[in-house]
Chain A
Amino acid sequence: MQTASYAQLDETLHIETLENGLRVCLLPRAGVQKTFGVLAADFGAADTAFLAGSGSIKTEVPLGTAHFLEHKLFDNQAYSVHAAFAKLGAETNAFTSHVETAYEFSAAEHPYDCAGLLLDFVQLPNFTEKTVEQEKGIIEQEALMYLDQADRQLYLGTLTALFREHPVRHEALGTIQSVYSTTKKHLDLCHELFYHPENMVLFIGGGFDASRMMEKVRDNQQAKKFSRRPSVWKMKPAEPETAAQEEHVFHMSVSRPKCMVGIKEYGTAISAEDLQNRLLLTRLVLGCLFSRSGAYYKILLEEELIDYSFQYQNVSDRDFGYTLISSTTDSPHDFAGKVKQLLLDARTVELPEEDFIRQQKKLIGGFLRNLNSIETIAQQQPWYLNHGLDYLRQIEVVQQLTVHDARRFLNDWISEDRLGVCMILPG
């Protein structure tokens, strides 16, 4: 077991890669009562095509398979997963993003038993064809719930405008049609390929003893037999650099129009170093321009194009990246036009150093705030590790950036053919 010390943060991380390939990270924190564990597979909703096995056969699974599998791992014929955790006074949950599937527990006692249980129910599935069929109605209800959520539809509409082929353009749970076409075989295959210990990270933080926890995890893994992982390459369709659609407009029952401008950052794979830079620089630059103290925010507010619902976010990942800027607005066309114009103007802006330093401080404070929560660290660190980065070093990386880095990034950031707009109009 190795340790990584983060002296400034007063934290120590215990790390070990087990014989079967499982990466284990433990973050004990003194005085904390609860323990929070995450077991994450590097497999998400956007992984629907891959080359697998010795013959490297191209295999495709229906949209939403990762999410469907997440539901079915909770449905164990031998015991109730929820009840087993509840018996230990703990709770369990899971989520599927476009790039990973994560299973969690939150416990106030019995942390070692909970860790074992988490590994068992995720690694040893036990569901039947019949229960796969039963699940379809539940997922359909979940899908229908999202169809009524205007903000979610706005977000998906924008992704559809930006990406032509990449599966990130679809709802993580797929479509109602794809859910009904999913079979037990699809789920079994994905479990075999992507839930192999080599493709997973276990992160546990909170009130426990690190040596005892590591021993517990080792014993649990040694008692299980894993065959060698078949070779597997995830496949992504060729994605053009430009946005798929300039504008995407539809109607829903909303009281006022909603508009979102999307920037397609990239749609093919980038290096870990590039990813680290983009993660921070995009956020810093967005903060300089669009945060409440940003120059562009003030312009949009003065021209009465936005209200309190105005927001922006950036998602940067291995092979896709996008930025979304949105508001409820009475003049969606003017909002879209203005935001696009401002973004294009950014190519020639000389970013003031004062603004950069302010956003840098703000980003540092934001990381510190997130570090309050063991849940957040446990949810973030597996993603960072799977992408060759370290969540607990982000403050150090931010402190090393200079205004020159930000200026270079900003002036090279936007091109018109990578912008896409989505609008929801009332009625």
Chain B
Amino acid sequence: MMVAEEVQLINNLHVHLIPSKKFKTITAELYMNGALDRGTVTRRALLPLVLRKGTADDPDEALLQEKLDDLYGAVLHTGSLKAGAHHIITCSLEFANERFIPGASSIAKEALALLNSVFFNPDLPGEVFPEGRTAEEKTVLRNYLEGLKDNTAAFADARLEEEMAKTDSERIKGFGYVEDLDRINGATLADCYRQSLLEDRFDLLIIGDFDPVEMSELVHAEMIGRQGFPPLLNNGEAGAEVSRSLEEPKKVVEIWDVKQARLHLGCQTGITYADDAFVSLLLVMMLLGGHSGSKLFSEVREKHSLAYDINANLDMYSGRLYIRGGIAPEDHAQVLRLIEDQLDAIQQGSFTETEWREAKALLINSYRKAADSMSGMLGVVYQQVIGRRARTPETIIQELTATTREQVIDTAKRIAMDTVYLLTNGEAG
């Protein structure tokens, strides 16, 4: 019933085929996983933007877009993200499954060829990315980076992360830096691309209602076996290391012209996806603020009417637990106290049998349901690659079922408040 995944390593491309009858479309997603590095991060953040704009076959963005539209509106996304000490560039293509459209054929074949061109056969006249396009996308990235502060919740998240950083690698922002952009041109960006081909680990995940043998043949014909497919050298993993140092909580207050204050807290747990205790950490997160029956939701929102949104979430690769709320500026001290009390309650084992059963059931069911959506399934499969531990939804469900209250209390005790970040207006002390 769960993820039936078929993995093949071909020319150092890890191909994961995930056939499923539940979907009317097919998604193919490429992952290019490299080390997070201050020297390359801005170029790596820019690269997917430039790749999205043209290929050697379709050097013009409009031509590329017409091709996508003609493929029944195939949707191409490129992007990058920071996951622990990794920087991952992604490229996904979702396209209609031809068996559900009368008169349609060869959509999958053309779609894979297109995906291959975007990632492995980019528009590189004279071995450099076109300067005009590079400059345009630099502006896009610059505007994006400068516009981040328009969303106060996202801004507060980014500031909290920065304040919590203990090592240089943690301090690196996954989206890159405005000040690096001036030094980037078509040639330096092409160097970065070629270096990534040599050093990064590549995974290709395909999910949908298809026959794995036929799809595997298409992957050969349209991608790996194609003339010009680059030699990939890395067949293993990119390195990752996690800071576990714990210090006294730090408090940061910033004043802005906002109507609603954001109180965002960061905790260090020292536990990541690769650790045995990861599953009990998930349970702590759930009990604390993972759903609308959680301690934070019922205490801060329902009982005291102090927030509209209040929740906890986990960065599974860095081992950080975040608690985030939107509150009235004058209530920040009271809300902080309530949050500390809820965490303390879990550390003391003060949660009811009902709370415990709910948290477990919701997590177990969320892993069951992950198998019903494309993005959920792709996420679960790729988590194992970055997290450096084989954990299928089934094994996580088994682990969750076996976890005891004592294990969760022990794990909760390892959580230490690191930084309290408050973004507020000047009106309240």
- Note whether A and B form a binding pair: yes
Chain A residues within CB distance 8 Å of chain B: 8-10, 29-34, 80, 82-83, 86-92, 106-109, 134-135, 137-139, 141-142, 144-145, 147-150, 206, 253-256, 291-293, 298, 307-308, 328, 358-359, 361-366, 368-369, 371-374, 395
* 24 A-B interface contacts by CB (under 8 A): A8-B100, A30-B21, A32-B22, A33-B372, A108-B366, A135-B305, A138-B301, A141-B308, A145-B260, A145-B308, A255-B146, A256-B146, A308-B140, A308-B144, A328-B147, A358-B69, A358-B70, A361-B70, A361-B71, A362-B72, A365-B72, A365-B96, A369-B94, A371-B24
Kindly identify which residue among B72, B143, B306, B364 contacts A328, using a CB–CB cutoff of 8 Å: B143
Shortest Cβ distance from B220 into chain A, in angstroms? 26
Shortest Cβ distance from B267 into chain A, in angstroms? 24
Kindly identify which residue among A107, A206, A373 contacts B365, using a CB–CB cutoff of 8 Å: A107
Q: Are B293 and A82 in contact (CB under 8 A)?
A: yes
Known: A86-B293, A107-B365. 13 other contacts (CB 8 A): A8-B100, A32-B372, A86-B361, A109-B368, A141-B307, A141-B328, A293-B65, A358-B70, A361-B70, A364-B73, A365-B73, A365-B95, A374-B372
Chain B residues within CB distance 8 Å of chain A: 1, 20-25, 61-62, 65-66, 69-75, 94-97, 100-102, 139-140, 143-144, 146-147, 149-152, 256-260, 291-293, 297, 301, 305-309, 326-328, 354, 357-358, 361-362, 364-366, 368-369, 371-374
Kindly identify which residue among A34, A135, A371 contacts B372, using a CB–CB cutoff of 8 Å: A34
A308 and chain B: residue at smallest CB distance: B140
Q: Are A372 and B374 in contact (CB under 8 A)?
A: yes
Q: Are A148 and B362 in contact (CB under 8 A)?
A: no
In the bound complex, residues from chain B placing their C-beta under 8 Å from that of A144 are 259-260, 326, 328
In the bound complex, residues from chain A placing their C-beta under 8 Å from that of B369 are 33-34, 106, 108
A362–B73 CA distance with the chains assembled, in angstroms: 4
Kindly identify which residue among A88, A328, A358, A368 contacts B25, using a CB–CB cutoff of 8 Å: A368
Q: Are A368 and B373 in contact (CB under 8 A)?
A: no
Shortest Cβ distance from B393 into chain A, in angstroms? 10
List of 10 A-B pairs having minimum Cβ-Cβ separation, nearest first: A362-B73, A365-B72, A365-B73, A108-B365, A89-B361, A141-B308, A86-B358, A137-B305, A292-B65, A293-B65
- Of A8, A88, A145, A307, the most chain B CB neighbours within 10 A belong to A145
Kindly identify which residue among B24, B257, B293 contacts A80, using a CB–CB cutoff of 8 Å: B293
In the bound complex, residues from chain A placing their C-beta under 8 Å from that of B328 are 141, 144
In the bound complex, residues from chain B placing their C-beta under 8 Å from that of A92 are 292
Q: Are A256 and B143 in contact (CB under 8 A)?
A: yes
Q: Are A9 and B293 in contact (CB under 8 A)?
A: no
- Of A30, A31, A206, the most chain B CB neighbours within 10 A belong to A31
In the bound complex, residues from chain A placing their C-beta under 8 Å from that of B293 are 80, 82-83, 86
In the bound complex, residues from chain B placing their C-beta under 8 Å from that of A32 are 22, 372
Kindly identify which residue among B24, B146, B150 contacts A150, using a CB–CB cutoff of 8 Å: B150
Kindly identify which residue among B101, B326, B357 contacts A368, using a CB–CB cutoff of 8 Å: B101
In the bound complex, residues from chain B placing their C-beta under 8 Å from that of A90 are 365
In the bound complex, residues from chain A placing their C-beta under 8 Å from that of B372 are 32-34, 206, 374
Kindly identify which residue among A206, A293, A368 contacts B72, using a CB–CB cutoff of 8 Å: A368
A147–B259 CA distance with the chains assembled, in angstroms: 7
A328–B297 CA distance with the chains assembled, in angstroms: 35
Assess A369 versus B308: contact at CB under 8 Å? Given A34-B369, A86-B293, A308-B140: no
In the bound complex, residues from chain A placing their C-beta under 8 Å from that of B143 are 256, 307-308, 328
In the bound complex, residues from chain A placing their C-beta under 8 Å from that of B361 are 86-89
A74 and chain B: residue at smallest CB distance: B292
Shortest Cβ distance from A1 into chain B, in angstroms? 24
Assess A293 versus B62: contact at CB under 8 Å? Given A8-B100, A108-B368, A141-B307: yes
Q: Are B365 and A145 in contact (CB under 8 A)?
A: no
Assess A361 versus B25: contact at CB under 8 Å? Given A86-B361, A145-B260, A145-B326: no
In the bound complex, residues from chain A placing their C-beta under 8 Å from that of B152 are 148
Kindly identify which residue among A34, A308, A328, A368 contacts B96, using a CB–CB cutoff of 8 Å: A368
Q: Are B24 and A9 in contact (CB under 8 A)?
A: yes
Shortest Cβ distance from B354 into chain A, in angstroms? 7
Assess A307 versus B140: contact at CB under 8 Å? Given A8-B100, A87-B358: yes
Assess A89 versus B101: contact at CB under 8 Å? Given A147-B259, A358-B69, A361-B72: no
A134–B304 CA distance with the chains assembled, in angstroms: 9
In the bound complex, residues from chain B placing their C-beta under 8 Å from that of A138 are 301, 305, 307-308
B75 and chain A: residue at smallest CB distance: A369
A308–B142 CA distance with the chains assembled, in angstroms: 12
A307 and chain B: residue at smallest CB distance: B143
In the bound complex, residues from chain B placing their C-beta under 8 Å from that of A134 are 305
Assess A369 versus B260: contact at CB under 8 Å? Given A141-B307, A255-B150: no
A89–B286 CA distance with the chains assembled, in angstroms: 13
Shortest Cβ distance from B397 into chain A, in angstroms? 10
A207 and chain B: residue at smallest CB distance: B372
Q: Are A366 and B146 in contact (CB under 8 A)?
A: no
Shortest Cβ distance from A352 into chain B, in angstroms? 12
Assess A141 versus B260: contact at CB under 8 Å? Given A32-B22, A82-B293, A148-B152: yes
A307–B21 CA distance with the chains assembled, in angstroms: 38
